Copies of this chain bind each other. A is one copy, B any other.
Amino acid sequence: MSQGAILVLSGPSGAGKSTIISAASGQIGEYYFSISTTTRSPREGEVDGRDYFFVSKESFEEDIKAGNFLEYAQVHGNYYGTSLKPVREALDAGKLVIFDIDVQGHRLVRAKLNDITTSAFITPPTLGVLKSRLHARETDDASVIAKRIENAKGEIMALGEYDFTIINDSVEEATRRFVIIANAARLKQSHALQEEFVKQWLALD
């Protein structure tokens, strides 16, 4: 029994998700970090195919019609979504597919691929710490920070929908927990595979 599995990570911008994934890399086996597709314009420093796949609104809407998205949403007039194709390819290759998506995206992935999905909500220890981190980064202006904080307050309410909470107080401890969760996530099996195994199990008597 071998196949890929999914690990959904959510949590506010400033929770330290990328830092933790980088720190854990090398301890969690082969994985594919899912890159979202968006119709918004690239920001300074963003690279197509690394940060996002940047596409036109027309192309995105064609893919919606063709059923090519695992999940998608419209935020402030822009589309964001996850294309099915690279995810399917990574799963078929037996990889762990890691998603960094929001609460709504998590619900959509669960609805479609619940049996092979594990999820973790990564958060700074308190709202106060989140605020300090966002201000310290000095990358966003006050209105963007205010919006991120409002989003975070909304998203934390969905904590109970996740399999695990990772409180990023110390990066070392958060990474240690992330490694355990990612390695367990990889051991999840699809119902189809389980049924196949049971059939074989009974036949090989």
Contact = CB atoms under 8 A, between A and B. Distances in A.
A57 interface: no
Contacts of A47: none
A145 interface: no
B1 A197 contact: no
A196 to B, nearest CB: 11
B188 A164 contact: yes
A160 B127 contact: no
A123 B201 contact: yes
Contacts of A66: none
B205 A126 contact: yes
Interface stretch (A18-26, A76-84, A96-104, A176-184): A176-184
A194 B165 contact: yes
Nearest to A180: B183
B205 A127 contact: yes
Interface residues of A, number: 36
A14 to B, nearest CB: 13
A64 interface: no
Contacts of A112: none
Given A200-B126, A201-B156, A180 B187 contact: yes
B202 A153 contact: yes
Contacts of A126: 200-201, 204-205
Contact of A204 (B127, B163, B180, B203): B127
A70 interface: no
Given A1-B167, A177-B187, A188-B164, A159 B198 contact: yes
A195 interface: yes
14 contacts: A1-B167, A123-B201, A126-B204, A126-B205, A128-B204, A129-B204, A131-B205, A156-B202, A159-B197, A164-B184, A164-B187, A180-B180, A180-B183, A181-B184
Q: Which 6 A-B pairs have the closest CB atoms?
A: A184-B184, A126-B204, A127-B205, A180-B183, A128-B205, A128-B204
